[in-house]
Structure 1
Amino acid sequence: MAESMQGLHRSCRCAELSEANIGQTVTLMGWVQKRRNLGSLIFVDLRDRSGLMQILFDEKIVGSEGFARAGGVRSEYVLAVTGRVQKREAAINENLKTGSIELAAESIRVLSESEVPPFPIEDGIKTKDELRLKYRYLDLRRPEMQKNLILRSQVTNLIRKYMAEDGFLEIETPMLQKSTPEGARDYLVPSRVHPGSFYALPQSPQLFKQLLMVSGFDRYFQIARCFRDEDLRADRQPEFTQVDLEMSFVDMEDVLETTSRLLRNVFRDAIGVEIPDPIPRMTWQEAMERFGSDKPDTRFGMELIDVSDVVADCGFSVFTSALASKGTVRGINVRGQGDMGRKKIDKLVDLAKACGAKGLAYIQCRSDDTVKSSFSKFMSEEKMSDLIKAMDAQAGDLLLFTADRFKTAVEVLGQIRLTLARELELIPEDQFNFLWVVDFPAFEWSDEQNRFLAMHHPFTMPYEEDLDKLESGDLSSIRSKAYDIVLNGVELGGGSIRIHQDDIQERMFKALGFSLEEARDRFGFLLTAFEYGVPPHAGLAFGLDRMIMLMTSADSIRDVIAFPKVKDASDLMTQAPGPVDDKQLEELYLKTLSDGQEKIKE
Structure 2
Amino acid sequence: MHAFRSHTCADLTKANVGDTVRLSGWVHRIRDHGGVLFVDLRDHYGITQVLCDSDSPVFAEVDKLRSEWCVRIDGEVKARDASLVNPKLPTGEIEVYIRDMTVLGAAEELPLIVFGDQEYPEETRLRYRYLDLRREVMQRNMTMRSDVVSSIRRRMWDKGFREYQTPIITASSPEGARDFLVPSRLHPGKFYALPQAPQQFKQLIMVSGFDKYFQIAPCFRDEDPRADRSPTDFYQLDMEMSFVEQQDVFDTIQPVIAGIFEEFGGGRKVDQEWPQISYRDAALWYGTDKPDLRNPIKMQVVSEHFRGSGFAIFAKLLEQDGTEVRAIPAPGGGSRKFCDRMNAFAQKEGLPGMGYIFWREKTADAVAQELGISVKEAQAKLKSGEVEGGMEAAGPLAKNIGPERTEAIRQQLGLGVGDAAFFLGGKPKAFEGVAGKARTVIGDELGLTDKDRFAFAWIVDFPIYEKDEESGKIDFEHNPFSMPQGGMDALNGDPLDVLGYQYDLACNGYELVSGAIRNHRPEIMFKAFEIAGYGKDEVEKRFGGMVNAFKFGAPPHGGCAAGIDRIVMLLADEANIREVIMFPMNQRAEDLMMKAPSEPTSDQLMELGLRVIPQED
What TM-score, normalized by structure 2, do the two folds share? 0.89
State the match for 2:573 in structure 1. 553
Going from structure 1 to structure 2, the CA distance change for 1:498 and 1:59 (only over 3 Å counts) comes to same
**Cα distance, 1:25 vs. partner?**
2.8
Between stretches 241-250 and 78-87, larger displacement belongs to 78-87
**Cα distance, 1:323 vs. partner?**
3.5
State the match for 1:471 in structure 2. 492
| Cα distance in 2 between the residues matched to 1:346 and 1:444 | 32
Q: Is the 8 A contact 2:175 2:196 kept in 1?
A: no
State the match for 1:3 in structure 2. none
Identity among equivalent pairs (%): 39
Answer yes or no: is 1:512 the counterpart of 2:509: no
Query: How does 1:404-553 map onto structure 2 within 5 Å?
Result: 404-446=426-468, 451-464=473-486, 467-472=488-493, 474-553=494-573
Q: Is the 8 A contact 1:351 1:416 kept in 2?
A: no
State the match for 2:324 in structure 1. 328
Q: What whole-Å deviation, never above 9, does each CA across 1:114-160 have from its counterpart, x for those lacking one?
A: 11211210353211111111111100000100100001011111111
Going from structure 1 to structure 2, the CA distance change for 1:145 and 1:360 (only over 3 Å counts) comes to same
Going from structure 1 to structure 2, the CA distance change for 1:341 and 1:499 (only over 3 Å counts) comes to closer
Q: What whole-Å deviation, never above 9, does each CA across 1:265-294 have from its counterpart, x for those lacking one?
A: 323333455634453332323322221221
Q: Is the 8 A contact 1:497 1:537 kept in 2?
A: yes
State the match for 2:290 in structure 1. 295
Going from structure 1 to structure 2, the CA distance change for 1:32 and 1:160 (only over 3 Å counts) comes to same
| Cα distance in 2 between the residues matched to 1:317 and 1:410 | 21
| Cα distance in 2 between the residues matched to 1:20 and 1:264 | 40
Going from structure 1 to structure 2, the CA distance change for 1:101 and 1:562 (only over 3 Å counts) comes to same
Secondary structure of the equivalent of 1:176?
Answer: coil
Secondary structure of the equivalent of 1:522?
Answer: helix
Query: How does 1:311-350 map onto structure 2 within 5 Å?
Result: 311-324=306-319, 325-337=321-333, 338-340=335-337, 344-350=341-347
Query: How does 1:167-316 map onto structure 2 within 5 Å?
Result: 167-181=160-174, 183-237=176-230, 238-271=232-265, 273=267, 275-316=270-311
Query: How does 1:379-418 map onto structure 2 within 5 Å?
Result: 379-418=401-440
| Cα distance in 2 between the residues matched to 1:155 and 1:21 | 33
State the match for 2:86 in structure 1. 93
Secondary structure of the equivalent of 1:111?
Answer: strand
Structure 2 counterpart of 1:21, from 11, 16, 23 = 16
Partner amino acid for 1:363?
I
Partner amino acid for 1:223?
I
**Cα distance, 1:35 vs. partner?**
1.1
State the match for 2:145 in structure 1. 152
Secondary structure of the equivalent of 1:412?
Answer: helix
| Cα distance in 1 between the residues matched to 2:69 and 2:470 | 57
Secondary structure of the equivalent of 1:509?
Answer: helix
**Cα distance, 1:378 vs. partner?**
3.9
Secondary structure of the equivalent of 1:379?
Answer: helix
Going from structure 1 to structure 2, the CA distance change for 1:364 and 1:40 (only over 3 Å counts) comes to same
5+ residue gaps in structure 1? Answer: 1-5
Higher relative CO (CA 8 A, sep ≥ 6), structure 1 or 2?
Answer: 2
The higher radius of gyration belongs to 2
Going from structure 1 to structure 2, the CA distance change for 1:130 and 1:533 (only over 3 Å counts) comes to same
Q: Is the 8 A contact 1:402 1:412 kept in 2?
A: no
Q: Is the 8 A contact 1:497 1:538 kept in 2?
A: yes
Q: What whole-Å deviation, never above 9, does each CA across 1:364-396 have from its counterpart, x for those lacking one?
A: 435675644344554233323333343333343
Q: Is the 8 A contact 2:31 2:39 kept in 1?
A: yes
| Cα distance in 1 between the residues matched to 2:127 and 2:340 | 40
Query: How does 1:68-83 map onto structure 2 within 5 Å?
Result: 68-83=60-75
Partner amino acid for 1:104?
Y
State the match for 1:362 in structure 2. 356
Q: Is the 8 A contact 1:368 1:395 kept in 2?
A: no
Q: Is the 8 A contact 1:51 1:143 kept in 2?
A: no
Between stretches 108-117 and 81-90, larger displacement belongs to 81-90
| Cα distance in 2 between the residues matched to 1:22 and 1:311 | 79
**Cα distance, 1:346 vs. partner?**
3.9
**Cα distance, 1:409 vs. partner?**
4.3
| Cα distance in 1 between the residues matched to 2:278 and 2:46 | 46
**Cα distance, 1:296 vs. partner?**
0.7
Between stretches 142-151 and 216-225, larger displacement belongs to 216-225
| Cα distance in 1 between the residues matched to 2:218 and 2:469 | 32
Give the number of aligned pairs: 584
State the match for 2:381 in structure 1. none
| Cα distance in 1 between the residues matched to 2:132 and 2:16 | 31
Q: Is the 8 A contact 1:322 1:405 kept in 2?
A: no
5+ residue gaps in structure 2? Answer: 364-391
**Cα distance, 1:170 vs. partner?**
1.2
**Cα distance, 1:544 vs. partner?**
0.4
Secondary structure of the equivalent of 2:462?
Answer: coil
Answer yes or no: is 1:52 the counterpart of 2:47: yes
Secondary structure of the equivalent of 2:223?
Answer: coil
Secondary structure of the equivalent of 1:54?
Answer: strand
| Cα distance in 1 between the residues matched to 2:519 and 2:561 | 17
Partner amino acid for 1:248?
S
Q: Is the 8 A contact 2:76 2:99 kept in 1?
A: yes
**Cα distance, 1:181 vs. partner?**
4.0
Going from structure 1 to structure 2, the CA distance change for 1:223 and 1:448 (only over 3 Å counts) comes to farther
What TM-score, normalized by structure 1, do the two folds share? 0.91
Partner amino acid for 2:452?
D
Partner amino acid for 1:162?
R
Partner amino acid for 1:300?
N
Partner amino acid for 1:262?
V
